[in-house]
Chains A and B, each alone.
Chain A
Amino acid sequence: MELSNNITTTFMNYMKNASDWVTFAYDAPFARAVLFGVPIGGHLFVEGLLLVVILFLLSQKSYKPPKRPLTNKEIDELCDEWVPESLIPPIKEEMEKEAPVLESCITSSAAGPHTTINGIDVVNFASANYLGLMGHEKLLESCISALEKYGVGSCGPRGFYGTIDVHLDCEARIARFLGTPDSILYSYGLSTMFSAIPAFCKKGDIVIVDEGVHWGIQNGLYLSRSTIVYFKHNNMESLRSTLEKVTQDNKRAKKLRRYIVVESVYQNSGQIAPLDEIIRLKEKYRFRVLLDESNSFGVLGKSGRGLTEHYNVPIDKVDIVTAAMGHALASEGGFCTGSNRVVDHQRLSSSGYVFSASLPPYLASAAITAIDVIEENPQLLTKLRDNVKTLCTGLLGIQGLEIASDILSPIVFLILKKSTGSLKNDLQLLQDIADRLTQKLKVLQVLKEHSVFVAPSKRSTLDKCNLPVGIRLFVSAAHTESDLQEAYESLKSVAASILTGQN
């Protein structure tokens, strides 16, 4: 009791002392001073003190754990520990298969309609020589004169003395044939699409593309870093709904460029794109169309001008047309046509054009001659169409395989009716069929009977296309009736023997 009283008294004393001090501070002369016309009360003194304390705390650095960069010794250890993967995965059996080596035979050049493989004479259905221009004397003549005049290579890119006058002539000829203002030549078929696309489609643009396009287009789209939307293969309904959705999503897309990329005759399936529908949709939704006419140039249309002539669409409705010349024109390289703006833009911003050597001049002169031949001989086109029809009718009722391509397409694409479920097994089966066809001579031991050389379509590991693999038959105008008969009869019998029970 005494103690608590003492404590209380002492406490009260302290309190009284403190309050005395505070009162003193309040009543101190400076406390009543008037600074700048504002009376300063004693409380401002306390607030000033608080401010000082706050500033002191803020100026303290926050605690960060100290950074300890790796020492040299640690980096050495990590580098020693790291084991890279091997450069290539281990070689599997199917990788060891060699491609068949063609040798020329007496009647035609090596990759012509008839050829020799391993000593066996075969009918060649694996070269895209649609109009049979391979081995044509006019082309040979122009090539020989170009070789003697210009040598083989052109030794330079187009910007620096690699432009030879035959290049300019070839570009003018192609533009005249198709009815466009100008065209531009590329030195390789595959690089045409994957250089043209990044020149136009930049980051942020929207590109709607068919899911069955070939690897060149896929690579070009990947390099262009634009937004890519796929639609179902050759399905116009899917295209329409995709366009609708994309236009809805991007209302502010005034500054964005929008493209639709399609092929005229798809290499992976043989279907033909309905161009009139596409043009109608394009005009409604304001997209630009990029058309790859590699397999239809020189084939479709009354005079071979391609898909636009086939559907009676004026060529200036399609913004950019590209094609590889390695198919109907029996040359190499590729070209791109369109309006003047389109072509001029590519001359400076298309990497495969600017950074690479130009097309060898003899191939350019071969292309010019080939176009001349096509213009003078429209009967080649009718012959090709008849051949395709004969082959297709002959192949009806084949066991286990069905025709997936269009009746007008020069590629006759056969797919398995019932797929085995895995790409590898499908490919193996088709390869067996192809091999048997080539070796039919040995199997049947019939003299003077031609075998047929076909090739199943191959897929690279980089290819994103999901369409089924199949056997591709490239029909040519140089094939005769007997060749075609041979082809479909052999195919029927071999398919029957390998694919029994699959129907």
Chain B
Amino acid sequence: GSTSSYLPPPSLSSRRPCASLSISDHRSTSLQQYLIVKMITIPYLTALTTYFSYGLLFAFGQLRDFFRNLVDWWKASNLQGYAPICLGLEDFYIRRLYLRIQDCFGRPISSPPDAWFDVVERVSNDNNKTLKRTTKVSRCLNLGSYNYLGFAAADEYCTPRVIQSLKKYFASTCSTRVEGGTTALHSELEEVVADFVGKPAALVTGMGYVTNSAILPVLIGKGGLIISDSLNHNSIVNGARGSGATIRVFQHNTPSHLERVLREHIADGQPRTHRPWKKIIVVVEGIYSMEGEICKLPEIVSICKKYKAYVYLDEAHSIGAVGKTGRGVCELLGVDTADVDIMMGTFTKSFGSCGGYIAGSKELIQYLKYTCPAHLYATSISPPAAQQIISSIKVILGEDGSSRGAQKLAQIRANSNYFRSELQKMGFEVLGDNDSPVMPIMLYNPAKIPAFSRECLKRNVISRVGDMVGIKYFPAEPKKPQLEEGRVKVE
């Protein structure tokens, strides 16, 4: 049967309801920063009230389910022999907890996700089950989109070039890369990306999620071992599962635990047969989007070198946002890019575009071009998006003739650190490291999630709310609370 996946009470050592802000670099006065703070122990009273509130919500939901079952027993079901799509408790969380606060998620916007944007207001006639759009919009401060370097809206350098490439190559190539989908623009893009990241060659796909899901099965199969950080993103988990290799997890960002896991598994060999492993890949992320922490890359790389494991670095959030020239965690932490075997990243966050890339040695990229399903079966990346990436990289590197790139990078660092310190002064409990643009603020109590979200909307500030326990069970749950305009609130 199917596994029931309703919400269990949160454990103190794992995630708790929190808010996080995403700061984008912008030369306006808006303070958008991601704050990151180390794990703080929770006072007992807070923990108790949190557990109590979850328990109450759960009990209430069960009661309503009970009555619903009674009512349904009277009415004939219209399924007639088909098993229902969701059985029993599978969608308990969705029906009873999420639907009540559904208006805090999925808010549509009607302008580009810039520093200030227009949020469309929605009304509900049936108690939050369905929401309808109205024509009213409210202009809000954006602390909830992944717009680190401010490339989200129409940019003075990028947009004219993008429109030109649209006219030349059209919005889509309608074919795969190996057939008719490689244009001169794609080759240029791969060269530029490889240069920027610091590797000999790169491969670009049209979507970041698919990159992870399609690359890991090609590189490793049955008889291999994947050791991944416990808080890795869902795309990595999917890719690892799809590969058929054995998966083991090490404690989040703890190199000593990684070493112990590696030693134990190399000595033991494959499960049951004890044959030696074919290969071992360690998967880590540059900046973890939920915690806002920066990966301890130098230690992890040295451990992997010692035990001959391959390192796979996912820089979805860190590429373009950290480092002196924006080249990601390797530059920030001083790690040689030749030590990291496979570097992966996405273009959605800092470059204001879409797509993902893999960078590695020339042979690796050649092999991937020959076997990777994302390359052989999927439509190639849209040419205007490719042009946007090329132009934004040029701006970051200063090749467009202005110093906007350097300014943006300095601005986001300054913004992040300022905002973090201000929030901490205000007494918020903020997670994450310095310099990282992701700032989760702990709220703990689940009832505070919608309260915080709606209050912030009233004051025209947008962030994200959510509770992190649900990440493993329900994808919709990563919530980062909204943050108010720091300066205004302090006073």
Q: Which residues of A sit under 8 angstroms from B206, Cβ to Cβ?
A: 188, 332
Q: How far is the CA of A200 from the CA of B2 in the complex (A)?
A: 11
- Report if A254-B83 is in contact (Cβ < 8 Å); known contacts: A110-B169, A144-B166, A162-B145: yes
Given the contacts A70-B267, A84-B308, A160-B464, A101 and B234 also touching, CB distance less than 8 Å: no
Q: How far is the CA of A112 from the CA of B167 in the complex (A)?
A: 12
- Kindly name the residue among B120, B145, B309 whose own CB sees the greatest number of chain A CB atoms within 10 A: B145
Find out whether the CB atom of A87 lies under 8 angstroms from the CB atom of B279.
yes
Distance from A1 Cβ to chain B, minimum over Cβ atoms (Å): 71
CB of A324 within 8 Å of the partner chain: yes
B352 contact from A82, A140, A152, A458, Cβ within 8 A: A152
- A155–chain B nearest beta-carbon distance, Å: 5
Least CB distance from A94 to B in Å reads 7
Please tell me which stretch of A56-64, A234-242, A343-351 contacts chain B, meaning at least 4 of its Cβ atoms lie within 8 angstroms of it. Answer: A343-351
Cβ contact within 8 Å between A112 and B170: yes
Q: Is the CB of A88 within 8 A of B367?
A: yes
**A363→B152 contact, CB < 8 A:** no
Known contacts A100-B182, A152-B162: does B172 contact A326 (CB below 8 Å)?
yes
- B388-427 CB contacts (< 8 Å) to partner A: 388
> A152–B385 contact, CB under 8 A?
yes
B238, A351: Cβ atoms closer than 8 Å? yes
Contacts known (A101-B182, A165-B108); A144 close to B209, Cβ less than 8 A: no
B33 interface residue (CB < 8 Å to A): no
Smallest Cβ-Cβ distance to A357: which chain B residue: B348
CA distance A129 to B307 in the complex (A): 50
Chain A neighbourhood of B214, CB < 8 A: 190
Is residue B179 contacting chain A, with contact meaning CB distance below 8 A?
Answer: yes
B271 close to chain A: CB less than 8 A:
no
Q: Is the CB of B171 within 8 A of A139?
A: yes
B182 / chain A contacts, CB cutoff of 8 Å: 99-102
Q: Are A332 and B168 in contact (CB under 8 A)?
A: no
Chain A residues positioned under 8 Å from B112 (CB to CB):
149-151
Complex: A162 Cα to B108 Cα, angstroms: 7
B456: chain A residues within 8 A (beta carbon): none
Stretch at the interface among B43-51, B64-72, B153-161, B320-328: B153-161
Indicate if the CB atoms of A83 and B308 lie closer than 8 Å: yes
Check B334 for interface membership: any CB of A closer than 8 A: no
Q: Are B145 and A126 in contact (CB under 8 A)?
A: no
Determine if A258 and B83 form an interchain contact, defined as CB atoms under 8 angstroms apart: yes
Query: For the complex, is B218 an interface residue (Cβ under 8 Å from A)?
Result: yes
Binding stretch for chain A, among B192-200, B246-254, B369-377, B483-491: B369-377
Q: How far is the CA of A83 from the CA of B308 in the complex (A)?
A: 8
Chain A CB within 8 A of B54 CB: no
Q: Is A470 an interface residue, CB under 8 A from the partner? A: no
Task: Return the CB mask of B330-354 against A: 1 if under 8 Å, else 0.
Answer: 0000000000011000111101111
Contact status B170-A348, CB under 8 Å? no
A84-127 CB contacts (< 8 Å) to partner B: 84-89, 91, 94-96, 99-104, 109-112, 115, 124, 126-127
The answer on a CB contact under 8 Å between B377 and A255 is no
- Which of B107, B184, B241, B475 has the largest number of chain A CB atoms within 10 A? B475
Is B178 interfacial (CB-CB < 8 Å)? yes
Complex CA distance for A331 and B342, rounded to whole angstroms: 31
Tell me whether A332 and B382 are in contact (CB under 8 A). Answer: yes
Q: What's the least CB distance linking A482 to chain B, in Å?
A: 20
Tell me the nearest residue of chain B to A342, going by C-beta.
B85
Q: Which residues does chain B contribute within 8 Å of A357, judged by CB atoms?
A: 146, 208, 346, 348, 354
* Contact status B166-A147, CB under 8 Å: yes
Whether B308 and A159, one on each chain, are in contact in the complex, defined by CB atoms closer than 8 angstroms, is: no
A219-B216 Cα distance, complex, nearest whole Å: 12
A231 within 8 Å of B by Cβ? no
- Tell me if B56 is interfacial: C-beta within 8 Å of chain A: no
**In angstroms, how far is the closest chain B Cβ from the Cβ of A115?**
8
With contact pairs A164-B108, A327-B174 given, residues A148 and B159 touching in the complex (Cβ less than 8 Å): yes
Within 8 Å CB of A351, what residues of B?
Answer: 209, 234-235, 238, 475
Whether the Cβ atoms of B266 and A165 lie closer than 8 Å is no
Q: Which residue of A lies closest to B465 (CB)?
A: A160
Does A302 lie at the interface of the complex (its beta carbon under 8 Å from any beta carbon of B)? no
In the complex, the answer to whether B171 meets A111 with C-beta atoms within 8 Å is: no
CB atoms of A152 and B170 under 8 A apart: no
- A180 close to B (CB within 8 Å): no
Evaluate contact between A453 and B1: CB separation under 8 angstroms. Answer: no
* Residues in B neighbouring A109, C-beta threshold 8 A: 167-170
Taking CB atoms and an 8 Å cut-off, the chain A residues in 201-215 that contact chain B are: 202-205, 214-215
User: Across the A-B interface, how many residue pairs have beta carbons closer than 8 Å?
Assistant: 361
- The minimal Cβ–Cβ distance linking A226 to chain B, given in whole angstroms, is 10
> Once the chains bind, are A160 and B144 in contact (CB under 8 Å)?
yes
A75 at the interface (CB under 8 A from B): yes
A324-B379 contact given A153-B353, A286-B82, CB 8 Å threshold = yes
By beta carbon, the residue of chain B nearest A360 is B354
Q: Return chain B residues, CB-CB under 8 Å to A205.
A: 2
- 0/1 interface trace, chain B 203-240, chain A, CB 8 Å (1 if under): 00011111001100111000000000000011100100
A85 CB contacts on chain B under 8 angstroms: 278-279
Distance of A463 Cα from B370 Cα, bound (Å): 13
The minimal Cβ–Cβ distance linking B84 to chain A, given in whole angstroms, is: 8
Instruction: Indicate with 1 or 0, residue by residue over A321-356, a CB within 8 angstroms of chain B CB atoms.
Output: 000101100111000000001100101110110111
CA distance A366 to B383 in the complex (A): 14
Contact B133 A168 (CB under 8 A): yes
Q: CA of A331 to CA of B187 in the docked complex: distance in angstroms?
A: 21
Contact indicator B183/A102 (Cβ below 8 Å): yes
Chain A residues with CB under 8 Å of B152's CB are 151, 153, 155
Minimum CB–CB distance from A87 to chain B (whole Å) comes to: 6
Contact A127 B354 (CB under 8 A): no
Q: B94 at interface (Cβ–Cβ under 8 A)?
A: yes
Restricting to A240-278, which residues have a CB under 8 Å from any CB of B? 253-258
A118 → B minimal CB distance (Å): 11
- Name the CB-closest residue of A to B342: A87
Asked whether any CB of chain B lies closer than 8 Å to the CB of A34, the reply is: no
Q: For residue B286, which residues in chain A have a CB less than 8 angstroms away from its CB? A: none
Q: Is B17 an interface residue (CB 8 A)?
A: no
Q: Which residue of A lies closest to B316 (CB)?
A: A357
In the complex, per-residue mask of A42-81: 1 if CB is within 8 Å of any chain B CB, else 0: 0000000000000000000000000000100011001100
Q: Are B276 and A82 in contact (CB under 8 A)?
A: yes
Q: How far is the CA of A461 from the CA of B310 in the complex (A)?
A: 22
Q: Is B445 an interface residue (CB 8 A)?
A: no
Q: Is A163 at the interface (CB under 8 A from chain B)?
A: yes
Asked whether any CB of chain B lies closer than 8 Å to the CB of A173, the reply is no
Contact A355 B233 (CB under 8 A): yes
22 chain-A/chain-B pairs, Cβ below 8 angstroms: A88-B363, A95-B369, A101-B187, A110-B183, A111-B183, A126-B175, A152-B158, A153-B151, A153-B353, A163-B107, A165-B133, A190-B379, A203-B3, A215-B377, A219-B373, A255-B83, A324-B379, A345-B91, A348-B98, A349-B475, A363-B171, A455-B178
Complex A-B, nearest 3 residue pairs according to Cβ-Cβ distance, in ascending order: A354-B475, A126-B180, A188-B207
Which B residues contact A (CB, under 8 angstroms)?
1-3, 81-83, 85-87, 91, 94, 98, 105-114, 117, 119-120, 133, 142, 144-147, 151-155, 158-159, 162-163, 166-175, 177-184, 186-187, 206-210, 213-214, 217-219, 233-235, 238, 241-242, 262-264, 266-267, 276-280, 307-310, 341-342, 346-349, 351-354, 363-364, 366-367, 369-374, 376-379, 382-385, 388, 462, 464, 474-476, 480
Interface residues of chain A, those whose CB is within 8 Å of chain B, are 70, 74-75, 78-79, 82-89, 91, 94-96, 99-104, 109-112, 115, 124, 126-129, 134-135, 139-140, 143-144, 147-156, 158-165, 167-168, 187-191, 194, 200, 202-205, 214-216, 219, 222-223, 253-258, 286, 288, 324, 326-327, 330-332, 341-342, 345, 347-349, 351-352, 354-357, 359-360, 362-363, 366, 453, 455, 458-463, 472, 474
Inter-chain pairs besides A100-B182, A152-B352, A460-B373, 12 sampled, C-beta below 8 Å: A75-B267, A82-B276, A91-B366, A102-B173, A126-B175, A139-B171, A152-B384, A159-B476, A161-B113, A202-B2, A286-B82, A355-B475
